[in-house]
Amino acid sequence: MNKILIVEDKKSMADMLSMAFNSEGYEVKCAYCVKDGIVLLDTDNIDAVVTDLKLPDGVGFDVLKSAKERVPSVPVVVMTAFGSIETAVRAVKEGAYDFITKPFDTDHLILIIKRALAEHSAKQENIALKKEFSNFLRIPDMAGNSKAWSEVLEKAKRVAQQKTTALILGESGTGKELVARTVHFSSPRANKPFVPVNCAAIPKDLIENELFGHEKGAFTGATEGRAGRFEIAHNGTIFLDEIGDMDLNLQAKLLRVLQEGEFERVGGTKSIKVDIRVIAASNKNLEHEVAQGRFREDLFYRLNVFQINIPPLRERRDDIIPLAKYFLNFFSNEMKKACPDMSKEIPDFIINHEWKGNVRELKNAMERAVILCDGGLILPEHLGFAEQKKNSSSTNDDSLFAASGQAVRIAEKARIEDALRTTDGNKSKAAVLLKVSYKTLLSKIKVYGIQ
Ligand SMILES: Nc1ncnc2c1ncn2[C@@H]1O[C@H](COP(=O)(O)OP(=O)(O)OP(=O)(O)O)[C@@H](O)[C@H]1O
Ligand SMILES: [Mg+2]
């Protein structure tokens, strides 16, 4: 609930405004002089301020100044007397969001505040988005010794120098996103945004809005215009992950953007031009999808300019030990534990494992091992393979992990959170990812108190 501060010395007026804002669902704090107003600015989290001009111990400009000093983005509306244009101009010059001339209709004032708050939250959201996308401003850490992996990296670094569209293909968990980040952060665009879009996780009816943004009034509730991911990625890279899962209709729109480098926001008519490097990834065989009529052939050719294929882990077994060591180190650091050693049977054991879930499966196994072996030697049972085999044909609803106990609960919670992050909070997709039923996932979310 937004909190409004009203600074007005006439009690009847303050009460009337307070009631009007209350009935619109706002929380209201009233002050009858500048001094009390400043105290409330200091002690309460005020979202917007309405102040009278003439106050017993000063003027509304003092309230305006104090509010701007404390939170520059907080909107302040100054109530001015009829005919005093200079005061109104001064208010806006000194940073007021707007002014309103007395006598006024309270509905008009409420409208001004509503608009101010909506603009404010849209700005905050844009700042948050920019921050999110400037995270991980570097080439990711990684491990791997095999010839195949070196070739993948070599290709990634080569294509990075050009603006060429790259298509990264590989089974789930092989490292497609990691390679996409490597391309971007090795490229001349490295200090511009890297904007991932998970085409499979965003609901079909929202994805257009996510990609292209919308204009104010485009649909009910669109009180402000908002930039989409293509706009945010301007001068940087857009990473279209799981492109094989994109709806056919949207594929047509995407093709147009890729061909022309321009698009319109939803509900807009103005063309927006962007300069973007495109990286797409899929764990599907896109040629097969084309043959089945599920993927547009023209889009496939548009994306398939420079292909990087990441082989499954079982086809580059030389990477298994270096990756395992890398993850053991990583997780023991993260959990502030001593890095465990592998018992003598572990190397053969992991080199010969199937790794159907590829590097992600290996990473999860090593995380589990660090928790379960508690600084000692890693034994085969810490990896939980035997149990998993038993369960692999059915869903493993009792536990996502083989062993039991507190350690497993910690790891389980972390995996659920990870899955929810991957699917942007979509629980049914997370359940599929975790191979548990939707009901089980809901109950675990409740048990662990996951937000
Ligand atoms: N060579 C590597 N070194 C270190 N970590 C790696 C390596 N390859 C993959 N990983 C890690 O394995 C996990 C899976 O990688 P990533 O998410 O890039 O795979 P993906 O192919 O995009 O999978 P999916 O198709 O399921 O989205 C990530 O946590 C990633 O950091
Ligand atoms: Mg991925």
Domains, the chain, with CATH or none: 3-131 (3.40.50.2300), 147-311 (3.40.50.300), 314-448 (1.10.8.60)
**CA 355 to ligand 2 center in whole angstroms:** 16
Residue nearest to atom 13 of ligand 1 (CA): 360
**Tell me, what DSSP letter sits at residue 437?**
-
Task: Give me the mean pLDDT over the 17-40 stretch.
Answer: 96
128 pLDDT above the threshold of 70: no
Residue nearest to atom 18 of ligand 1 (CA): 175
**pLDDT tens digit string along 368-379?**
999 888 778 898
**CA 9 to ligand 2 center in whole angstroms:** 59
CA-based nearest residue to 47, from 98, 129, 121: 121
**Contacts (Cβ under 8 Å, ≥6 apart) of 202:** 210, 424
**CA 178 to ligand 1 center in whole angstroms:** 6
The pocket of ion ligand 2, defined by CB under 5 A, consists of: 176-177
CA-based nearest residue to 327, from 309, 345, 339: 339
DSSP assignment of 219-272, as one string?
A: STT--S-EE-HHHHTTTSEEEEETGGGS-HHHHHHHHHHHHHSEEE-BT--SEE
**CA 405 to ligand 2 center in whole angstroms:** 30
Phi, psi angle pair for 254, to nearest 5°? -60, -40
Ligand 1 pocket member 60 (CB < 6 A): no
Residue 390: the pLDDT is: 46
- Ligand index nearest the alpha carbon of residue 177: 1
Ligand 1 pocket member 174 (CB < 6 A): yes
**Angle subtended by helix axes 427-434 and 406-422, to nearest 10:** 130
In this structure, what token pair is assigned to residue 391?
Answer: 């369960």
Residue nearest to atom 31 of ligand 1 (CA): 178
Ligand 1 pocket member 178 (CB < 6 A): yes
Residue nearest to atom 28 of ligand 1 (CA): 360
Residue 386: the pLDDT is: 57
SS3 427: helix
Instruction: Give the residue, 411 or 77, on which the prediction is more confident.
Output: 77
Ligand 1 atom nearest to CA at 281: 22
- Ligand index nearest the alpha carbon of residue 244: 1
**Tell me, what DSSP letter sits at residue 343?**
P
**Contacts (Cβ under 8 Å, ≥6 apart) of 352:** none
385 pLDDT above the threshold of 80: no
What is the distance in angstroms between the CA of the first residue and the CA of the last residue of the chain?
A: 20
**CA 149 to ligand 1 center in whole angstroms:** 13
In this structure, what token pair is assigned to residue 253?
Answer: 């729109």
In this structure, what token pair is assigned to residue 266?
Answer: 């939803």
Ligand 1 pocket member 157 (CB < 6 A): no
**CA 12 to ligand 2 center in whole angstroms:** 61
Q: Which of 178, 308, 421 to mutate to test the pocket of ligand 1 (most atoms within 8 A of CB)?
A: 178
Ligand 1 atom nearest to CA at 359: 12
Do 271 and 160 meet the contact criterion of CB atoms below 8 Å apart? no
Residue 124: the pLDDT is: 75
Do 194 and 239 meet the contact criterion of CB atoms below 8 Å apart? yes
In this structure, what token pair is assigned to residue 187?
Answer: 């490229």
**CA 80 to ligand 1 center in whole angstroms:** 60
**pLDDT tens digit string along 95-121?**
999 889 888 999 999 999 998 998 888
- Ligand index nearest the alpha carbon of residue 175: 1
**CA 121 to ligand 2 center in whole angstroms:** 31
Ligand 1 pocket member 143 (CB < 6 A): yes
Ligand 1 pocket member 176 (CB < 6 A): yes
Residue 391: the pLDDT is: 47
Q: At 401, is the pLDDT very low, low, confident or very high (cuts 50, 70, 90)?
A: very low
Q: Which of 135, 363, 367 to mutate to test the pocket of ligand 1 (most atoms within 8 A of CB)?
A: 363
**pLDDT tens digit string along 176-223?**
999 999 999 999 999 888 999 998 888 777 888 889 999 888 787 777
